[in-house]
Structures are given as C-alpha cells and as structure tokens.
Chains A and B, each alone.
Chain A
C-alpha cells in the first residue's frame, strides 16, 4: 500500500463520508417520522390510511432501493416533478427506511400488554393520552435494538446512491479505482471509512441491548 496515495485520497473520502452521513441521517430522520406515523396508523386501525400504509410497506420492503431511487430520480421528472439528487437520496432512503421502521415500531407496540392500555383507560385517560404517555414510550424502548439495526442497514444502503450521481463512499471508491487503478488503497479506505461511520452505531446498539436486558430482568 502506498501511503502517499492514501493521503491524497483521504480528502475525497472525507467529503464522501460527510455527504453519506448528511443524506443518511436526514433519510433516517424521515424514516423515523414515517415509522411513527405509519405505526400509529396501524395501531389505531385508521380506516383507508391503514390500507395505504399496508401497500406502501409491501412495495418498499419487497423491492431493492436501487430500483426505487431510479424511479424517483429518473421517472418523476418525466411527469414534471423535478428534484435534486440529494433530495431524492433523502426521500428514497426515508421511504425505504419508513417501511422497515413501521414494522419495527409496530412490533414494539404489539409487545406491550393490553393491560397497559386498559389500566391507562381506567384511569380516565383518552386513547390519545394513553398512546402518547403510556404505550409509545414503552414501544420505542422495546424497539430500540431493532431501530438501530435498521439505522445500520440504511447507512449501508447508501451505497446505491451512485446511481443518482451522489458521491457516496462506495461510489468514490469505485470511481477512483476506475480512474487511477489503485484497487487496494481504495478498498482499504472504503473499509476504514465505513468503520468510522458504522462502528459507533453498532457499539451503541450492543450497549443499548444489554441495558435493556438488564432493565427487563431487574437490576
């Protein structure tokens, strides 16, 4: 491996990391919002919306992100909706992530015993108060390991952003290999930067999971 080459590539990877993180985290935020709303819709069995949410989940969970992005970025402009690549990345990742987040939060919601709802109701709380103060906080903390796994999954999925001209980590690596043919150096930096991006999340995940297990069993 050539250290000078590594040095000269690092700024490019750093830019890519920032872009990946920027789009990644915005997309994840969007997916969390979608996840919460969707899970609430399913939880309260809101008429019509419930069906739409179901279809949305099935479509986005059963097709690759690549193909989804392709449609948002290349097909929508043909019918007059034009969005920048970044917006598209955020939107695509958010929509895909939303489908996964809904499922995770929903299974968190389902794991909360009915008696919790009933005892809140018998204290005179409304359905909405019960959901916000009693059910949701518990469901979220039950879902945290799952949510973090989704976050890692989504950050890794950013690798298909190259399709829509976003210079993410993966694209930077492929691009540099194509131009200058320093395969080993490029892949080494790719792994390194993925580590920088994902290791903290992964460690956090392990930590939270352990804490939750303690929480469940007492001390």
Chain B
C-alpha cells in the first residue's frame, strides 16, 4: 500500500478540476444560503403571525422539506418542471432552487424561533415609544433576530456544502463527481487512486467547512 494514488492528482489539470468542483459546491451553497437568509427572514416573520391558514401552509411546507430526501426534490425540480410545464431550467438553477427551498424553510424556522425568543417587552417598549408594527420589526426585532441567526445560518452553509454531492444526480460536476472521474480515468495506472483522491476530498471538505464552523462558534460567543 505504498502507492496511495496521490500522484494521480498531479497529472494534467486534475487537481485544478478538483478545486473547480469544490468551488461549484461552495458556490451553490453560498448562493442558496444568501437566498435562504433573505427569504427565510420573511417566512420566519410570517410564521410568527397569528393567521391560522398561513401557519398551516408554512407548517406543511416545513414538514415537506424536513421529510423529503433532497435527491427526490432535485429530480422533481429538474426533470419534473420540464415534464409538467415544459420549462427547461439549467441544472444549476434547479440545484439552487432546491437548496434554497430547503434553506428557506430551515431559516424560516430558525427565524421564528429567534423572534419567539425575543422578550415580549421588546415589542411593547417599542410600541410604547409610538413605533408602529413595521418600525418595530424593522428597527428592533429583526436586527436582534439577525444576530442570533448569523451563527446558525453559517452552520447551514456547511451542511449545504456537505449535501451538494447530490447535485451530480442532475449532471452537475462537483467535487465528488470530479473525484470519481479522476479515479476512473486512472484506474489502470493507479488502482489505489481511490484512497488518495478520497483522502484529498475528505481534507478539502474539512478545509472548507472547518473554518466556517469555527467562525460560527466565534460569532455565537461574541454576540451571546
């Protein structure tokens, strides 16, 4: 087992491609998280309103996201929209849609939790100062909510990056797919390439996710 196949990575543009694949994962995650935060704020606020039908709809939405495997969602969005509506959306768009669909629900729930955890007295003292509902949410409640949320949403980024390997199902070539391509293209020359390449992939994931989750811990402590 002397040759673990790391050398394979230095053939041609292999390593560069691996990094490009990683960037695809990170990019999809970042865009999705950005969308998730913005829409999640809105959904979260909606979740706290006392409208029964709205609550029911959002609850169902949340349950769907929790229970449906992301791969099924990817299939449905990427192929289903074409079948049913005849839309031909790109795989990247489908992936971002599905990840955002997931993220918005999760963020929404986090936002709801954070808003609920803000003492009622914060609303009331804003009202007592003559602010209306909109001003109260905008200047008082949301800024506090966001601070609690940022560490949590950072964790969502790492979870998304780790889940992006599913997008290969709709033809997107991300880091794990590139890894498989490299392993297969070099199977003859270095049969053990799987180990080296996967070790590097393991490391790459760690290098990307670890600082992000440390940042979350740091912010959580700072804003606690």
Contacts and interface: CB of A to CB of B under 8 A. Distances in A.
A–B interface present (Cβ within 8 A): yes
Interface of A: 58-59, 61-67, 70-71, 74-75, 78, 152, 156, 159, 170, 183, 187, 190-191, 194-195, 198-199, 202
A77 to B, nearest CB: 11
B104 interface: no
Contacts of B176: 66
Given A71-B198, A78-B1, A62 B67 contact: no
B139 interface: no
Contact of A74 (B1, B194, B202, B210): B194
B206 A63 contact: yes
User: Which label, helix, strand, loop or mixed, suits the secondary structure of the B interface?
Assistant: helix
A37 to B, nearest CB: 22
B213 A61 contact: yes
A202 B62 CA distance: 10
Interface of B: 1, 63, 66-69, 71-72, 75-76, 79, 158, 162-163, 165, 176, 194-195, 198, 201-202, 205-206, 209-210, 213
Given A67-B201, A152-B67, A199-B67, 10 more contacts: A62-B209, A64-B163, A66-B176, A71-B202, A74-B194, A170-B71, A183-B75, A187-B72, A190-B72, A202-B67
For B72, B194, B209, B210, the residue with the greatest tally of chain A CB atoms inside 10 Å of its CB is: B72
A194 B76 CA distance: 15
16 contacts: A62-B158, A62-B206, A63-B162, A65-B162, A66-B176, A67-B198, A71-B202, A78-B1, A156-B69, A170-B71, A187-B72, A187-B75, A190-B69, A191-B72, A195-B67, A198-B66
